[in-house]
Amino acid sequence: MKTLREYVKEAEEKGVAIGHFNISNLEGLHGIYNAAKKLNVPVIIGLSEGEEDFVGKSEAVGMIKELREKENFPIFLNADHHYSFDRVKASIDAGFDAVIFDGVNLSFEENVKITKQCVDYAKSTDKDVLVEAELGYIGSGSNIKETIPEGAGIKTKPEEAQKYVEMTGIDMLAPSVGSIHGLIKSGKPHIDCELVAEIRKVTGIPLVLHGGSGLRDEDFTNGIKAGISIVHINTEIRLAYDEALKKSLAENPNEVAPYKILQPAVEAVEKVVEERLKLFNNLK
C-alpha cells in the first residue's frame, strides 16, 4: 500500500483533498471508516492530545494499523495539535503516521526551535512519519462559539510561511487562511484562495486546512483548487454524534445495551463524513 506521503501527493495531483476527521471513541472511528469505505477514498483519523488520552495511544495505533493492514484500506492516524516536543515524540514512537506540532502560542523563534526538534526527531527514526506545523492563529477548540474569538483569524503572511518552512523542514503546513476552529454561530469568513495559492507556491509543500466545520461548500472546492491537500473536520461530527445520542437516549429510555443506544450516533457521524468526503474528493 502507498504511504500517507504518497497519498497526499496523489491528492494534489488529482486536485482533491484527503479528509481528516477526529475521534473520541470507537463509534466515531466506525462512522468515519464506513463512509470512507463506501466511497473508497483514503482517510485520516485525528487525535488531539485530549482525544488521544481518552482513546489511548496504543489502542488507536492498533485499531488503525489493523484496519489498514488486514482490510487493506488506506486509513491513517495523525497526532493532531500536539503542544510539546515530548508529546510529539511519544506519538511518533507509538507509531502514528503523522504528527502536528502546534506552537502558535509561542514566539516565532521558539516555534521554529521546537518544530525543528520534532522534524529532526522524526527524521532520525526509521519511520516515514509526516510532520506538520501551524502558522498564524485560527483559534482553538472544536466547539460551538457565538462569535470569532479575539485574535483568531489573523492570516499567515506568505514570506513568514516561506521562512518558517525553510527553517524547520516540515512536510506540511497549516496556514491561517480564513477558517477558525469550531462552529461559529455568526458564520465563518470565506477562505482566501489567493493567499492559499501564494503560500503553496512560496513554501513548495502541501497545505492543510484546519477549522473546516461550518465552511461553505465553495470555500472547500475553491480552497482545494488553490492548493489545499488535507481538510480537517471535527466540530460537525461531534455535534452530529451528540444530537443523535441524546435523541437515542430520549426515545429509548429503557434500553441499556450500549451498542443499540449508540448505533444512531455511528450513523450520524457516517452521514456527515460521507457528505464531506464527496465534496473533498469531487464525487457525486
Task: Select the binding partner of residue 78 from ligand G3H, Zn ion, none (C-beta < 5 to 8 A, by kind).
Answer: none
Spatial CA neighbour of 136 closest among 176, 82, 166: 176
Q: What is the dihedral of CA 239, 191, 232, 204, to 10 degrees?
A: 180
Element (H, E) at 131: strand 130-135
- The values of phi and psi at residue 144, to 5°, are -90, 130
| 156 contributes a contact to ligand G3H by CB under 6 A | no
Per-residue binding letters, 214-233, with ligand G3H (x by CB under 6 A): ------------------xx
Counting residues that bind ligand G3H (by CB under 6 A) gives 16
- Sole window of 10-18, 113-121, 155-163, 208-216 interacting with Zn ion (rule: CB under 5 A): 208-216
Task: Select the binding partner of residue 30 from Zn ion, ligand G3H, none (C-beta < 5 to 8 A, by kind).
Answer: none
The grid coordinates of residue 163 equal 521562512
- Sole window of 9-17, 162-170, 225-233, 266-274 interacting with Zn ion (rule: CB under 5 A): 225-233
HSE of 47, CA atoms in CB hemisphere, 13 A = 32
The grid coordinates of residue 29 equal 472511528
Q: What is the DSSP letter of 252?
A: -
- 10 Å Cβ neighbour count for 216? 12
Residue 134 or 198: the one with the smaller Cβ distance to ligand G3H is 134
Write out 133-184 in H/E/C secondary structure.
Answer: EEECCCCCCCCEECCCCCCCCCCCCHHHHHHHHHHHCCCEEEECCCCCCCEE
Residue 46 or 74: the one with the smaller Cβ distance to ligand G3H is 46
Is 93 among the catalytic positions?
Answer: no
CA distance 213 to 210: 9
Residue 40 or 188: the one with the smaller Cβ distance to ligand G3H is 188
- Sole window of 189-197, 206-214, 243-251, 267-275 interacting with Zn ion (rule: CB under 5 A): 206-214
| 80 contributes a contact to ligand G3H by CB under 6 A | yes
Spatial CA neighbour of 78 closest among 157, 146, 20: 20
- 10 Å Cβ neighbour count for 214? 20
| 210 contributes a contact to Zn ion by CB under 5 A | yes
Residue 235 or 281: the one with the smaller Cβ distance to Zn ion is 235
Per-residue binding letters, 181-200, with ligand G3H (x by CB under 6 A): xx------------------
Find the binder of ligand G3H among 24, 213, 221, 281 (CB under 6 A): 213
Residue nearest to Zn ion (CB): 210
Q: By CB under 6 A, what part of segment 28-67 binds ligand G3H?
A: 46
Output the CA angle 209-213-217, nearest 5 degrees.
Answer: 80
> Which amino acids are annotated catalytic?
80
Q: Using CB under 5 A as the criterion, which residues of the chain lie in contact with Zn ion when the complex forms?
A: 210, 232
Q: Which residues of the chain form contacts with ligand G3H (CB under 6 A)?
A: 22, 46, 80-81, 142, 181-182, 210-213, 232-236
